[in-house]
C-alpha cells in the first residue's frame, strides 16, 4: 500500500520535542517519497489555564505562533513543486475552557490548512487538572487522585465525548487525535476491562458528526503501551462505519516520519485531510 503522507507531525516549536528544524522534516518527507505532510504543532493552551505538566511544556507558547506560521508558509512556497505542506495545530480540548479555545481558533482558523482535536488534560475529582500522558510516574499519581485506573479511563472517555460534542466554532478541528491515549501506560497500569464499549460509542459519535480519526502509530513505541492509537481492531470498526482514518506518526523528531506505517491493518483504507474536506463539502 502506498502512503500518501504523514499528517500528524510536531516541530522544534514544541517545548517537549526535539530541536529538529521544520525544513529537516520536509527534506526527510521528500526523501521518503511522500506527497504531503501536515505540521500539527501543539496549539498554545488557553491563557487562563495553567499547564499541569511538571515542566509546563505541553504546548507551544503564544508568542511563537506567528513565527511558526510564517516559517511554515515559507516552506510551503519553497517546496511547492516537490511536496504539499499543510500548516496547522493539534488543539487541546480542555473542559470548561471552550470559550478561550474557540477564541484562538477564530483568530487563526483562516490561516491553517489542517488540525487535530485531542485530549491530554483531565479534571480530577479534587478539581485540579492533570496531564494524562506525561510519564508513568505521573500517571501513578493520577490514579491516586481519581481512585482507580478505571476511574481515570472513565473520565478520559467522558472528556473525549465532550470534545466531540463541544461547540468550538467554525474552525473546530474535525479530526479526533489518538482516541485511546489513556492507554499509554496500560502495560504498567492495566484496567480491569478493555473499555471497548466506550470506544465504540465514541466512533458512532464521530460518524454522526462526520468527523475523521487520527490513525496514530506513536503508541507502538511507548514502552508501556506498544499498540497504535487506536488498536487495529478499533481501526477496523471505524473503517466499517465509514470513518476516514488519516495516518500520522505523531513525530517529534524528523527521523521518525511514517514510523511503523507498514503495520496498519491491511483491511482498512487510509485517507488524506484533503479527501476528507472534499467529502464534507460535497454533503
Q: Which residues pair with 216 in a beta bridge?
A: 229, 248
pTM as predicted: 0.95
Q: CATH code at 129?
A: 3.20.20.140
* Total structural domains within the chain: 1
Domain extent at residue 50: 5-281
Using only the alpha carbons of the chain, give its radius of gyration.
18
Q: How far apart are CA 190 and CA 152, in angstroms?
A: 11
Res 67: pLDDT? 98
Res 147: pLDDT? 97
Which helix (H) or strand (E) is 212 found in, with range? Answer: strand 212-216
Sign of the CA dihedral running 240, 217, 256, 56 = positive
Q: Report H helices in 46-167.
A: 65-78, 98-108, 136-146, 149-165
Res 68: pLDDT? 98
Which residues does 113 contact at the CB level (< 8 Å), separation at least 6? 38, 86, 87, 88, 273
Structure confidence by residue, pLDDT tens digits, 252-277: 999 999 999 999 999 999 999 976 55
Is residue 283 scored above 50 in pLDDT? no
Is residue 2 scored above 70 in pLDDT? no
Structure confidence by residue, pLDDT tens digits, 225-240: 999 999 999 999 999 9
Amino acid at each position: 500500500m502506498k502512503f500518501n503522507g504523514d499528517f500528524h507531525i510536531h516541530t522544534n516549536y514544541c517545548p517537549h520535542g526535539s530541536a529538529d528544524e521544520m525544513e529537516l522534516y520536509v527534506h526527510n518527507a521528500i526523501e521518503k517519497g511522500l506527497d504531503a505532510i501536515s505540521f500539527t504543532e501543539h496549539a498554545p493552551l488557553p491563557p487562563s489555564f495553567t499547564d499541569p505538566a511538571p515542566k509546563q511544556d505541553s504546548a507551544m507558547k503564544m508568542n511563537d505562533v506567528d513565527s511558526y506560521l510564517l516559517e511554515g508558509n515559507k516552506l510551503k512556497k519553497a517546496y511547492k513543486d516537490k511536496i504539499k505542506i499543510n500548516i496547522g495545530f493539534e488543539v487541546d480540548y480542555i473542559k470548561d475552557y471552550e470559550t478561550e479555545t474557540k477564541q484562538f481558533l477564530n483568530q487563526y482558523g483562516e490561516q491553517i490548512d489542517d488540525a487535530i482535536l485531542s485530549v491530554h488534560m483531565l479534571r480530577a475529582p479534587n478539581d485540579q487538572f492533570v496531564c494524562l500522558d506525561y510519564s508513568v510516574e505521573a500517571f501513578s499519581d493520577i490514579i491516586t487522585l481519581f481512585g482507580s485506573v478505571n476511574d481515570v479511563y472513565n473520565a478520559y472517555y467522558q472528556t473525549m465525548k465532550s470534545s466531540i460534542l463541544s461547540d468550538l466554532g467554525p474552525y473546530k478541528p474535525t479530526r479526533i487525535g489518538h482516541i485511546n491515549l489513556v492507554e499509554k501506560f496500560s502495560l504498567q497500569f492495566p484496567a480491569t476491562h478493555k473499555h471497548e464499549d466506550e470506544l465504540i460509542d465514541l466512533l458512532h459519535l464521530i460518524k454522526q458528526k462526520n468527523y475523521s480519526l487520527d490513525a496514530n502509530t506513536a503508541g507502538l513505541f511507548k514502552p508501556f503501551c506498544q499498540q497504535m492509537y487506536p488498536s487495529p481492531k478499533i481501526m477496523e470498526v471505524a473503517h466499517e462505519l465509514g470513518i476516514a482514518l488519516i495516518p500520522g506518526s505523531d513525530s517529534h523528531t524528523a527521523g521518525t516520519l511514517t514510523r511503523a506505517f507498514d503495520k496498519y491493518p491491511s483491511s482498512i483504507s487510509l485517507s488524506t485531510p484533503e479527501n476528507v474536506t472534499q467529502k464534507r463539502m460535497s454533503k
